[in-house]
Amino acid sequence: MPNPSLLILPGDGIGPEVMAEVRKVIDWFGANRGLSFEVGEDLVGGAAYDAHGTPLTDDTMALAQSVDAVLLGAVGGPNYDDLDFSVKPERGLLRLRKEMDLFANLRPAQCFDALADFSSLKREVVAGLDIMIVRELTSGVYFGEPRGIVKEGNERVGINTQRYTESEIARVARAAFDLAQKRGGKLCSMEKANVMESGILWREVVTEVGRAEYPDVELSHMYADAGAMQLTRWPKQFDVIVTDNLFGDLLSDLAAMLTGSLGMLPSASLGAPMANGRPKALYEPVHGSAPDIAGMGKANPIACILSFAMALRYSFDAGAEATRLERAVETVLADGVRTADLMQTEGGTPATTAEMGDAVVAALSAGG
């Protein structure tokens, strides 16, 4: 059988730096575990605009559709702020999500014990935290029509439309229920059914799917604003959370900061199964392009490395190897290796981006 295929899109800012460290990990699995990939690389975001005048070429889009998984670094930067909206770097990422139909965005928020004191919350609130937020990714207010800025009388009006179909809600609900079955058996659905018709439909459909197909999963509902409050009060009450595109964007970033650093958190965006049974998939760190530290060796590559661990688990049926990589990261952190974003307490060993990547590879090797 041919090796599984992986398309790497480093992107902008610190994207190429953190992706270089993932390359080391990929090479290690090929050399030491017989897990090799056909790896291609291309441009996205500002890098693609600089080279081709568009944040994502049709050829790159076609390539992304053909591979088993896409691994993306980050897009954007202040030097692109004045571009027309249609060619801003972020439009490349949105096109990937939309045309690959990546409707379920998985954002884990896990607090490693070595970093429990890095959170702005008390240690007892976040220590041992391990939750998953499932965000609907291809519909809702970010994609609804009509949209735009129009003139009404003497003033401009900005319009965005929140729109969900029954089938769009049901499929992301099933993805969340499936995860809950494999985790703690609890799913909390968050919306604003008290003030939004789309929220009413969301609650009804999630409830129907749960009753008909997942009676073994404990389903609860919560208004999204109350959910934000509860995430900061006692986040460990949750296991899996499912929510819409807008609320998922906000709540997953909130949950990310519970763990102490955006530089630690991966994500997966999954779509319908392909002919080989694997879901279409794009993996990326939650953090942005951080242009202020690009090229300085300060970036934390762990979120990107853990995004590859998610690819191992969800795209390549290599759950044991994913766990091996996650444990290597945990070992490195327990040993006190720290990139700049983690140097908040005394006693850590400062590490550059490359040194952190080397430490993870060394921990993989030490693990046998």
Active-site annotation, residues = 142, 192, 225, 249, 253
Type of residue at 117: D
Distance CA 222, CA 79 (A): 40
Contact between 254 and 228 (Cβ < 8 Å):
yes
Contact between 295 and 354 (Cβ < 8 Å):
no
- Per DSSP bridges, beta strands 155-161 and 186-191 are unpaired
362: helix, strand or coil: helix
39: helix, strand or coil: strand
Going 323 to 325 to 331 to 333, the CA torsion angle's sign is negative
Distance CA 307, CA 198 (A): 31
Other C-beta atoms lying within 10 Å of the C-beta of residue 32: 12
163: helix, strand or coil: coil
CA distance to 51, 96, 198, 207, 366, per residue, from 62 (Å): 18, 10, 33, 37, 39
Contacts 24+ apart (CB under 8 A), 26-34: 26/308, 28/361, 28/364, 28/365, 29/321, 32/364, 32/365, 33/321
Type of residue at 50: D
Provide the token pair at 336: 């006190």
Identify the H or E element spanning 179.
helix 166-182
Type of residue at 60: T
